[in-house]
Amino acid sequence: MKKINVAVVGYGGMGGWHTDRIREMEKFNLAGVWDIDPESLARARACGIHTYGSFEDVLADDSVPLLTIATWNDVHKPLCIAAMRAGKNVISEKPVTLSVADLDEMIAVSEETGKLFTVHQNRRWDDDFLTMKNIYDKNLLGKVFRIESRVQGSRGIPGDWRKEKGHGGGMVYDWGVHLLDQALTLNDDNPLESVYAHITNVTNEECDDGFYAELRFRNGLYYMVEVTTNNFIALPRWYILGENGTSVIEDWELNGKSTLVHDWKKIDAVPVKAGTGITKTMAPRTDETIHDEPLEKIHGQWTQYYDNIYDVLNGNATQIVTHRQMRRCLKLIEAIFTSAETDSVVKFRED
Ligand code: NAD
């Protein structure tokens, strides 16, 4: 097997993660890294990694056909375009860029040069997402009418560029892009019809420190995405409601369960006390009509992402994260910002 040389641009947290993974993989070889920060380069050298003298030096290295760009969000676009124009294939970290107009320019360069251009949407292989997707795809709950997808932190935005608009900061571009890509991946063939969203500025004025987005798909599915950074009690990672049951996936460790109804018609219940009154409607079901099932845990193989890149570069596959999907996700992000700014439901037009 001929290994493919990769250079990583941006050797911070995620650049370090890519270099570590690439060094473990059989199909790739880490050629070196470049970062504008001399201290990052020194750290790389201390780990035995070759460092380049400039971005131009990376582009001039004919032994390297592939770059992974893991810099701040605002410079993904110029770096990816320069790389493709220099004959390199590129993986950009997410978000691929900050607007659909910018992405269109990047896609045009990819088409003109014939170079691979894609984005690292690694969370398509997260166990929690795949476990939820399995419930949905297998129809375990009957027709699913609502999915709630949440991540909730309690430290605000970390004290780096993610707080700065000029660098493409904020939580919509940060965690949001992952959760939105998951929502769209689950509904790849199911048109998105409308979006209602609001963003929060609880701990940060310059950039959004969280958001809530309600997505309505053509098949009637309502899909809620929530990213927040000031929650000291977190709600479950996933909450899935179907006609015949409910599933909860509490966390990334896949704690949770499904509760299924096996005798829907037996709905008679004894009223229970509720606050200052009583209720029959909200009384819990009796045990003989429902039962719990453990979650079928699905474990993802994230290395399939780089395996796919290898196959694409050898002419044996098409890219998993496609230009259409990248564009759809950025269009959704733009719709979220528009909805939040205008406090209105935004109609979504699929291309
Ligand atoms: P970071 O601040 O830790 O690292 C970014 C590095 O990029 C810094 O070392 C900085 O000096 C360098 N840099 C900035 N501009 C550059 C340029 N023009 N040329 C070369 N180097 C440059 O940030 P991070 O947490 O590693 O995030 C980097 C990217 O990875 C972001 O796009 C982020 O959204 C993404 N990310 C993805 C995931 C994921 O799971 N896919 C997780 C975390 C971060």
User: Average model confidence (pLDDT) for the chain?
Assistant: 97
| Confidence (pLDDT) at 13 | 97
Cα distances (Å, whole numbers) of residue 324 to 119, 180, 226, 317, 319? 12, 14, 24, 16, 11
The SS3 assignment for 291 reads: strand
Q: What is the largest CA-CA distance in the chain?
A: 76
**In this model, does residue 294 exceed pLDDT 90?**
yes
Mutate to test the pocket of ligand 1, among 71, 91, 124, 126 (most ligand atoms within 8 A of CB): 71
Q: CATH assignment of 127-254+295-300+332-347?
A: 3.30.360.10
H-assigned helices in 177-274? 177-186
**In this model, does residue 159 exceed pLDDT 80?**
no
Ligand 1 centroid to Cα of residue 92, in Å, is 10
* Closest atom of ligand 1 relative to the 122 alpha carbon: 41
The SS3 assignment for 242 reads: strand
CA gap 149, 188 in Å, rounded = 17
**What percentage of the chain carries pLDDT values higher than 90?**
94
Q: State the Rg of the chain over Cα.
A: 23
Intra-chain end-to-end CA distance of the chain, in Å: 39
Whole-structure pTM value? 0.97
* Closest atom of ligand 1 relative to the 121 alpha carbon: 41
CB neighbour list of residue 187: distance below 8 Å, 6 or more residues apart: 217, 221, 223
Ligand 1 centroid to Cα of residue 213, in Å, is 26
176 lines ligand 1 (CB under 6 A): no
In this prediction, residues 262-285 reach a mean pLDDT of: 90
Specify the residue with its C-alpha closest to ligand 1, atom 42: 14
pLDDT higher for 285 or 70?
70
Q: Let me know: does 58 contact 52? Beta carbons within 8 Å.
A: yes
Mutate to test the pocket of ligand 1, among 34, 35, 52, 122 (most ligand atoms within 8 A of CB): 35
Residue extents of the structural domains in the chain: 4-120, 127-254+295-300+332-347
* Closest atom of ligand 1 relative to the 174 alpha carbon: 34
97 lines ligand 1 (CB under 6 A): no
> What are residue 5's DSSP bridge partners?
29
Q: How far is C-alpha 295 from the geometric centre of its chain's CA atoms? A: 22
| Confidence (pLDDT) at 139 | 97
Q: How many residues are recorded in the chain? A: 351
Domain 4-120 class in CATH: alpha beta
Q: Which contiguous run of DSSP H or E holds residue 78?
A: helix 76-85
* pLDDT tens column, 187-200: 999 999 999 999 99
Model confidence at 46, pLDDT cuts 50, 70, 90, reads very high
* pLDDT tens column, 227-262: 999 999 999 999 999 999 999 999 999 999 999 999
Model confidence at 264, pLDDT cuts 50, 70, 90, reads confident
